[in-house]
Structure 1
Amino acid sequence: MRIKTLGLLAASLLALIAAPAQAADGNPLEKTNGFYTDPNSNPAVWVKNHPGGTADQIRAAIATKAGARWFGNWSGDIKSAVDGYTYAADVVDKLPILVAYNIPGRDCGGHSGGGAGSPDAYRSWISNFAAGIGGKPAVVVIEPDALAQLDCLPTGERQTRLDLLRFAAEQFASKAPNTWAYMDGGNSTWIPAATMADRLNAAGVKSIRGLAINVSNYKTTTDSANYGKAVSAALSSKYGYTKPFVIDTSRNGNGPLGSEWCNPAGRKLGVTSQTGGGAEMLLWVKVPGDSDGKCGIAPNVEAGTFSPDLALRLINGS
C-alpha cells in the first residue's frame, strides 16, 4: 500500500510539472493573447459599406486595429450587449476594451450629453454591465469625464455622482473578477493631480485596478504618464495606496493643438494598443474618426458619428 501510495504521489507530481502554467486569477492579460479588434466598430462598418480607395487606407490604419467599444443608453439591453461582445472576444482568446458611458448628466449637457435618467436607473445599468462580463477577461474604462466635470454639477448632485461611481467600482470588483477596471481621471492639464486623487478616492478607485488618462484627448503620452504618476503619488501620500494607469493614445501622435479638444486640425494617430510604453497599457479608447461633436474641422458631424474625413486627417496628420 505504501509503495502504491508513493507511486501515485510521484505520478501526481509529474503531472503537475508537465501541466501548463495557469494564469493568476484576475489578470486578464494572462488569460488572453492580445487585444480584441471590434469587427463592427464605426470605421469597420464604414469600410465594409464603401469598398476601395479611401476605405483601403482607413482599413489598414484604423479599422483593423484593436480599440474600445463604447456602451451607453444606445446599447439596448446592456447585459446582453456586453455579454455578446465579451463572449466574441473570449472565443478568439483576445482581450476586449469596453467603455461604460452612461452616468446621469453625462458631459454636462455638452456635445455628448445624455446618460441614465436617474441614479436608480444607472445603478441597474452598471450592475448589469458588470454582470454581462462575468468571469470573462476584459478591460473597462469607467465613465470618461465624470470626475473631471464634477464641478459643473449643482453642489447637491456632486456627492450623488461620487456615490454612483463608487457603486460602479464595487460592481466590477464583485461581479467581474477577471476584469481590470479603470476610473477615468481626466487629462494632464484639466484637474490638478492632488484634486483628482481626492475625487478618485471618493469614487472608490481603491477597489478596482486603477485610472485612465487622456481619454478622447490629444495630450502626449509623456505628459499623460507624468500626470498619471503624479495622481498615483498623491493617492499614496494622502490615502496610503498607489494605482496603475492606462493612457488613451488613439489620437495623440502629434500631441495637442493648444487647449483645443474638439476636432482640432493637424492631429495624428498615436501608437496602437499595447502593454507598457510608460503606463500599464496604452490603449485606443476613443475610436479614431468618430467626431467629438459639431465643432472644429467637423462642424456638421454629431458626437460619436464616424467621419472618413476625420479618419484620413488622423492618418495623414493634417
Structure 2
Amino acid sequence: HRDCGQHSAGGAPDAAAYESWIGSFADGIGDAKAVVILEPDAIPHVVDGCTPPELHEERYRLISGAIARLKQHPGVRVYLDAGNSAWISDPGKLAQTLRQAGVGEADGFALNVSNFQRTGEQLAYGRRLSDMLGGAHFVIDTSRNGNGPLTGAPNEVWCNPPGRALGEPPTTRTGEERADAFLWVKRPGESDGPCRGGPKAGAWWPDYALGLARRAG
C-alpha cells in the first residue's frame, strides 16, 4: 500500500517479500557507511488516515524490523521519516506513531523529505517532536526548499511546483544540536509524478533541475 496507491504506488507484494528486500538492501551496504531515510511517507500516512487501519500493525512490525536489520551494520545510521510541519498538525499523535514503529531503536527521524517547507520551520517542528521523543535527533531534506512551498495553489502543491529553488547544501553544521544534518534526500530534478508536465515519479526532468539551480540563492 505504498503511497496509498497514488503516484508512487507499488512496493512489495507481502510482508515476506518486504523483509527479504530489506535484508538484501542491508547486505548491499555491507561494511560501508550510509545514512538511510526509512520509508518516506509510511508513518505520516498512518497518522493522516490514508493507510487503512487494518494495515497499521503490520506496517509497524515491518518498519521496526527494518530498523533492527539495518542497525546490524555498524556503519549505518537510520532515520525514520516523519513527514513535515505542514502535513501533520498534531506532533503528539505523530510521536506516538513513530514510537510504535520503533524510532527509539533508530538514530532519529527525518523531516521534509521530497517537500519544500522552509528549513527554519522544520527546525522548530523538529525540536517539538524531539521533545516528545526523549530528545531524538533528526535530519532535514533541504534539496528543494530554497524558495519555500508554493502558495495559492490548492491542489498538489507538493507535485512539481513551479518557481522552487535548491535549498541549503548538505552539511552537518546545522546550528542545532539535535539536527544532525541537512541532506538532499530527494535528488533535485527527479519528477514528483505526471503533473504540471512532468514525467513519471522518480524520472529525471532536466528542465526542472535547471530551474531549481537557476533560482538558488
Under a length normalisation based on structure 2, what TM-score does the superposition of the two structures give? 0.91
Answer yes or no: is the 8 Å Cα contact 1:274–1:283 preserved in 2.
yes
Q: Does 1:311 align with 2:209?
A: yes
Q: Does 1:221 align with 2:112?
A: no
Q: 2:36 aligns with which of 140, 160, 165?
A: 140
Answer yes or no: is the 8 Å Cα contact 2:95–2:129 preserved in 1.
yes
2:105 is aligned with what amino acid?
A: S
Answer yes or no: is the 8 Å Cα contact 2:160–2:198 preserved in 1.
no
C-alpha displacement of 1:178: 1.5
CA distance in 2, matches of 1:314, 1:267: 6
Count of aligned pairs: 206
Partner residue, 2:26: 130
Q: Does 1:184 align with 2:77?
A: no
CA distance in 1, matches of 2:108, 2:24: 21
Q: Does 1:172 align with 2:73?
A: no
Give the superposed CA RMSD.
Answer: 1.4
Instruction: Give CA deviations for 1:70-89 in whole Å, capped at 9, x if unaligned.
Output: xxxxxxxxxxxxxxxxxxxx
Answer yes or no: is the 8 Å Cα contact 1:219–1:252 preserved in 2.
yes
Partner residue, 2:11: 115
Q: 1:274 aligns with which of 171, 175, 181?
A: 171
Q: 1:152 aligns with which of 50, 57, 69?
A: 50
Higher helix share: 1
Answer yes or no: is the 8 Å Cα contact 1:245–1:280 preserved in 2.
yes
Unpaired stretches in structure 2, ≥5 consecutive residues: none
1:283 is aligned with what amino acid?
A: L
C-alpha displacement of 1:135: 2.5
C-alpha displacement of 1:106: 1.1
Answer yes or no: is the 8 Å Cα contact 1:172–1:208 preserved in 2.
no
Answer yes or no: is the 8 Å Cα contact 2:191–2:199 preserved in 1.
yes
1:218 is aligned with what amino acid?
A: F
CA distance in 2, matches of 1:131, 1:202: 25
Q: Could you say which structure has the larger radius of gyration?
A: 1
CA distance in 1, matches of 2:30, 2:68: 13
Q: Does 1:247 align with 2:147?
A: no
Answer yes or no: is the 8 Å Cα contact 2:198–2:205 preserved in 1.
no
Partner residue, 2:186: 286
Under a length normalisation based on structure 1, what TM-score does the superposition of the two structures give? 0.63
- Secondary structure of 1:274's counterpart equals coil
CA distance in 2, matches of 1:256, 1:270: 12
C-alpha displacement of 1:316: 2.1
Instruction: Give CA deviations for 1:170-195 in whole Å, capped at 9, x if unaligned.
Output: 1112x211211100010111112111
- Secondary structure of 1:246's counterpart equals strand
- Secondary structure of 1:152's counterpart equals coil
Answer yes or no: is the 8 Å Cα contact 1:134–1:177 preserved in 2.
no
Q: 1:300 to 1:269 in 2, by over 3 A?
A: closer
C-alpha displacement of 1:300: 4.2
CA distance in 2, matches of 1:152, 1:188: 17
